[in-house]
Amino acid sequence: MQYIKNGMTRATRSLVGIGFSHLLAPLACRERAMVAEADVAGVLRSLAGRLGAAEVVLLSTCSRLEVYAASDDPEETLARARAWFLERAGAEIAPCLTGRLGEDALQHLFSVTAGLDSWIIGESEILGQVKRAYETARTAGLTGPVLNRAFQSAAAAGKAARAKTGIQHGIHSIGGAAAVLARSIFGESADGMTVVFGAGEAAQATVRHLAAKNFSKVLVANRTVERAEALAREIGGTGVSLERGLDLLASAEIAVFSVSCAAPVLTAEDLKRRVAGRNRPLFLLDLGLPRNIEAECAALPGVYLYNLDDLKGVVARSIAGKAGEGEKAALLVAEAGRACAAELDKAAARREGARQAAAV
């Protein structure tokens, strides 16, 4: 595990941050360790008791799993958190883990929230994901003066960095990257059928970007047909059931999967049956974590399967084009982090003064 320990001021010395991301951890490790959104609250409560920390937030996305805490014994909390990660993801995750203490943990949170630690610089989804992670912990009574200030300030800094720089120019979401890949597959013609499975954030972004790139035949498939229809109406598309969407794979050109699931929605055996007799390529984009499409599907004749890590190449040119804006945003975020640390120190000093006065 990498270990970063700097910036130990009066208040920030209680801060702990530990986790892994797409930068080091392969897709299979991230898939094994991730916490489904519906399970975060329960896992968080169990984790808080185990860490012995007064404040804990758990951030789980398709790109990262991180724990932030405020503790009277930060090094012990860090050690316990590391043990939790190893149990959840296996010993092979150890080289991918990075532990941070003090202001380094704070600055990392600010960088993550601004989308500067994402594989898409300025990624739009991460800001909402951080906010929801914080709100889940706050609702559970697991935040206090340190993490409240840290997460609220990080959200404000993330919004400001996006507003004051060009980090959101070009591709800034997984859905946008998926649409760019789809356009590269179709070339100049976008007349073939595209089926988007799911109606969450990534699926919504994909559908909207496809529409912006003049894809004329977009269908949205979802377990809840009403949600599929509502999203499809935005672009003049058609909403169908999940099963109907799977049936349409026989005639679709591209299918984008972004469904919340514990097991693959599409297995190799099922896909082989559905596309039997098909004599043209089928392109599948899997944006899910856990993955929506069984990896063995890629071995079927005429099937081309792309997952989240494959999209990195698609956005590389976009990232290179806005590197200068990323540097500007990093400076703004670093300054905001230092300001937050100073505010945490002042608040800690006020609390200490009040305690001493009460003891007299």
The per-residue pLDDT of the chain, averaged, comes to 90
What are the two backbone dihedrals, phi and then psi, of residue 251, each rounded to the nearest 5 degrees?
Answer: -120, -5
Answer with the residue of higher pLDDT: 346 or 258. Answer: 258
As given in the structure block, the two tokens for residue 146 are 């340190």
- Burial (Cβ within 10 Å: 0-12, 13-18, ≥19) of residue 191: exposed
pLDDT in tens, 185-213: 877 666 789 999 999 999 999 999 999 88
Q: Is the pLDDT of residue 4 over 60?
A: no
Beta bridge partners of 284: 255, 305
Residue 76: pLDDT band by 50, 70, 90 thresholds? Answer: very high
- Residues whose CB falls within 8 Å of the CB of residue 87, separated by 6 or more in sequence, listed in order: none
pTM score: 0.82
User: Which regions of the chain does DSSP assign to beta strands (E)?
Assistant: 2-6, 15-21, 55-60, 64-70, 98-102, 194-197, 218-222, 238-241, 254-257, 282-286, 303-306
Superfamily per CATH, domain 174-315? NAD(P)-binding Rossmann-like Domain (3.40.50.720)
As given in the structure block, the two tokens for residue 74 are 């930060």
- The whole-number pLDDT of residue 120 equals 83
115: left (phi over 0), alpha (psi -120 to 50) or beta: left
- Residues whose CB falls within 8 Å of the CB of residue 352, separated by 6 or more in sequence, listed in order: none
Q: Is the pLDDT of residue 181 over 70?
A: yes
- The whole-number pLDDT of residue 319 equals 64
pLDDT in tens, 267-304: 999 999 999 988 999 999 999 999 999 999 999 999 99
Helix residue spans in 223-267 (DSSP H): 225-233, 242-247
Answer with the residue of higher pLDDT: 108 or 38. Answer: 108
CA–CA gap between residue 283 and residue 281 (Å, rounded): 6
What mean pLDDT is predicted for residues 155-172?
Answer: 89
CA–CA gap between residue 215 and residue 194 (Å, rounded): 8
Q: What angle do CA 57, 58, 61 make, to 5 degrees?
A: 140
pLDDT in tens, 295-343: 999 999 999 999 998 887 777 766 666 778 889 999 999 999 999 999 9
What mean pLDDT is predicted for residues 25-40?
Answer: 91
As given in the structure block, the two tokens for residue 67 are 């724990």
CA–CA gap between residue 97 and residue 89 (Å, rounded): 11
273-297 as b/e: b if 16+ CB within 10 A: eebeebeeebbbbbbbbbbbbbeeb
Q: Is the pLDDT of residue 8 over 50?
A: no
What are the two backbone dihedrals, phi and then psi, of residue 174, each rounded to the nearest 5 degrees?
Answer: -60, -40
Q: Is the pLDDT of residue 5 over 70?
A: no
Could you state, in order of their start, the residue ranges of all structural domains in the chain? 2-169+323-359, 174-315
- The whole-number pLDDT of residue 188 equals 61
Q: Is the pLDDT of residue 2 over 70?
A: no
Q: Which residues are catalytic?
A: 62
Q: Is the pLDDT of residue 243 over 60?
A: yes
Minimum mean pLDDT among 14-28, 88-102, 306-320, 338-352: which range? 306-320
CA–CA gap between residue 322 and residue 133 (Å, rounded): 28
What mean pLDDT is predicted for residues 163-184?
Answer: 85
Q: What angle do CA 89, 205, 117 make, to 5 degrees?
A: 45
Q: Which CATH class is domain 2-169+323-359?
A: alpha beta
Amino acid, single-letter form, for residue 328: K
